[in-house]
Amino acid sequence: MIAFVCGGGKGVGWGHVARCIRLAEALRRRGRRSVFLARDAEREPKAFLRASRFPCRSFHGDPLRALARLRGRVSVLVVDDYAAGQAFFRRCRSAFPGVPIVAIDDLGRDLSVDLLVEPCPEPKRHRCTGPVLSGHRFTLAVRAPFVRSRPGGRTRVLVSLGGNSGRIARKVLKALESCRLPLEAWVTGDGAHLSSASSGHLRTRRIPPGWDFWRRIPKPAFAICAGGGTCLEAACRGVPLLLIERAANQHDNIQALVRIGAARLVGPTSSASVARIRAVVRAIFSDAPARRAMSAAGQRRIDGKGAERAASAVVRMMESRGRAAALRSPPLRKPLSGSMFIL
């Protein structure tokens, strides 16, 4: 059994949960079972996991206490949580001796783990005790079809800005309204900030919460996103991007997507004014050839097979550990004819 411990919540968003589910799905296709650990206080991750048909166990406080109940059944431990540092991984080593540890991390940290997956468009430098899977080939995004839609009508815009996005989302919707263009904004989140948009030139639609909302929406003409996992999923699916940097750890993702031509930079949250957002939206709305080029650039860079590659690496590690353990075990001696063993 593979145990996943991943962070997630209204403050940090659901990107950690989503990319862990991507990896777990790829492992399931290889015949490997997974179980997730989620905090009792967070309802959304557990709902996402139920929708993905993965068992989920709740815990309070220290996840190692919940993991202790699985001792003897865990063959690999996968951790995707910014709060998990070297001290946490040392405790995991002590609690689960001999169990390989996989970290999914995009902060460029030096972690004492057996395998590190860094799902970023460009590789970072790491010092790790095990192999590092880094760069666009290991971005944990999946390419899947959109919902079919009728041609014509308003131009769809996806607005997905991560956890605690009410303030910046209201600013984005105000900018879209002031563009006075035939736009329809599809907004992720709980929809509480939709009231800021008037019913004049802009129409808004709320996307119900879910880690894989892509399967429930038609393809947008472009997306206004932060620099987390959603922008990588959008690039993989060929959606042109307008990016707002909401946190320091999003900088590398954003710069990589801008460099390859899959995105345009709006700016950090502090400088993403209504006027700035409006100007960038008007420019991309009126430039269909640029949108086509951005779409192709994103799909060339992120091919949607990163989870499969990472899962194959995890399975190879499990199998090599199993072979090594078998070699260390003393061979059974074949008894001579007529001999007897006393146990």
In the sheet with 115-118, reading across from the earlier edge strand, the strands are 56-59, 34-39, 2-6, 76-80, 101-104, 115-118, 132-134
For residues 79 and 88, the answer to whether their CB atoms sit within 8 Å is: yes
Tokens standing for residue 236: 């993989």
**Amino acid code (one letter) for 238:** G
Q: What tens-digit pLDDT sequence spans the chain (343 residues)?
A: 999 998 776 666 778 888 999 999 999 999 999 999 876 555 666 667 777 788 888 777 788 888 888 888 999 999 998 888 889 999 999 989 989 999 999 888 888 899 999 998 888 777 777 889 999 999 999 888 888 777 667 899 999 988 777 889 999 999 999 999 999 999 986 554 554 554 567 899 888 766 678 888 899 999 999 999 899 999 999 999 999 999 888 999 999 999 999 999 999 999 999 999 999 999 999 999 999 999 999 999 999 999 999 999 999 999 987 666 555 555 545 444 443 333 3
DSSP 158: E
DSSP 243-266: EEE-SGGGHHHHHHHHHTTSEEEE
CA distance 75 to 139: 24
**pTM to 2 decimals?**
0.87
CA-CA distances (angstroms) from residue 90 to 6, 36, 105, 110, 111?
17, 20, 16, 13, 10
Segment holding 294, helix H or strand E: helix 288-301
